[in-house]
Amino acid sequence: MRIPGVVSFLIASLCLAGCSSTAGVDALDLQKPSNETTSSVIRPPAPIAAAPAARGNRAARAELAPMSDNGPRRPFGLAEEEETGVFAAPDVPDPQVPDVGGLPVEPAALVSPPKLLTRAAPAMLAGPLTRYGFRDAKPINFGKASPRRLAVHGVDVSRWQGNVNWDKLRAQGANFAYVKATDGGDHLDPMFMKNWRNADAAGLKRGAYHFFYWCRTAGEQADWFIRNVPRVEGALPPVIDVEWNGESSCKRRPSREKVLEKMQVFMDKLERHYGQRPIIYTAPDFYRDNLRGEFLDYPFWLRAVAQHPSKVYPGRKWLFWQYSGSGLSHGVTGRIDLNVFHGDERQWRAWAGGRQTVADAN
């Protein structure tokens, strides 16, 4: 009487094993959220139905992950000087900032070049850069400090840009792209993997960013980012996006000490995983409250859409400048964030992993 029961149990077990094996390393199985839910950003209805994304730390896996949420977007709590400041920057660059070819370039701005995991993959950098060709729905006169005078422009994207024609975007002047991957500890941008692959196929240098959620532990967020963002040779360093988000369901604003502690935990995990020091993206109000004088050995990506970063973030060296949230380009429906690299073409090629000079490329 017991044997038939055992046989039945074994048969049932084999059936279940067969069903589960077809899933393999299924993304949904890999991405079970913890019991702590994020619901980090209350967003308006979007044309693309998908779960919000989370931002992680430093590392990303080599295996493919499901699609993710946005890319660095316009912060909700802009500092007064940026939101209502004088939109025409002074005609003369900051006297304390050296002038390189008419462009204000701070000394040692290119801190912490990305360390590649094996060796440089220079093929993507061998061709000529595409030059600035964007338009702007709300153009700003930055005077002689205009970002248009810098050589290497790029964009950041998320699900809110919809289906991007990356070839057209590159032809318009995008040489690099930061793609929204995650936010919090359980949200993934539904367009992440599509944007990640297509930006690379179009010849842009690509990186991923994570929107940090202050109601979730830093370790969980780092693990979530690492789970969803591939670790690939030649990718730009990961980015931690730290802001005060007025539309978030999380209203917590930790102390400066706690903010710095959480950021450090997150960035340390990413750096160990990806072998690259993360870049810190921030906005004026958050910077004023938490980041003045901090993380001097980390590269910064600064939002300053009304004035040059030297005016909004005095004394802070920067690597990327997000100078517009109202850019217009072929290949994208609606507006897109515009960014520029702080250096010339030679510095870009050296920093981003190539070893050719401008002369070599020509």
- The answer to the question of residue 128 being in a domain is yes
Active-site residue flag, 247: no
Question: Out of 82, 106, 220, 243, which one is annotated catalytic?
Answer: 243
Average pLDDT for 9-28 = 40
- The answer to the question of residue 171 being in a domain is yes
- The answer to the question of residue 244 being in a domain is yes
162-193 per-position pLDDT tens digit? 999 999 999 999 999 999 999 999 999 999 99
Q: What is the model's pLDDT at position 249? A: 83
Q: What is the model's pLDDT at position 297? A: 97
**Domain assignment of residue 202, given as a range:** 80-361
Whole-angstrom Cα distance, residue 208 to residue 56?
A: 9
55-80 per-position pLDDT tens digit? 333 333 333 333 333 345 443 333 33
Number of domains in the chain: 1
Whole-angstrom Cα distance, residue 78 to residue 72?
A: 14
Helix (H, G, I), strand (E, B) or coil at 82: helix
- The answer to the question of residue 56 being in a domain is no
Phi, psi of 311 (to 5 degrees): -90, -35
Beta-carbon contacts of residue 303 (< 8 Å; ≥ 6 apart): 72, 74, 75, 82, 281, 282, 283, 284, 322
Q: pTM (2 decimals)?
A: 0.69
Burial environment of residue 78 by CB neighbours within 10 A (0 to 12, 13 to 18, 19 or more):
buried
Helix 256-274 to helix 218-228 angle (10° resolution) is 30
- The answer to the question of residue 9 being in a domain is no
Beta strands in 64-138 (DSSP E): 99-100, 103-104, 135-136
| C-alpha pair distances (Å), 241 with each of 87, 99, 313, 316, 351 | 25, 29, 16, 17, 21
- The answer to the question of residue 75 being in a domain is no
CATH number for the domain spanning 355: value is 3.20.20.80
- The answer to the question of residue 237 being in a domain is yes
Average pLDDT for 305-325 = 97
Helices (H), 202-255: 218-228
- The answer to the question of residue 222 being in a domain is yes
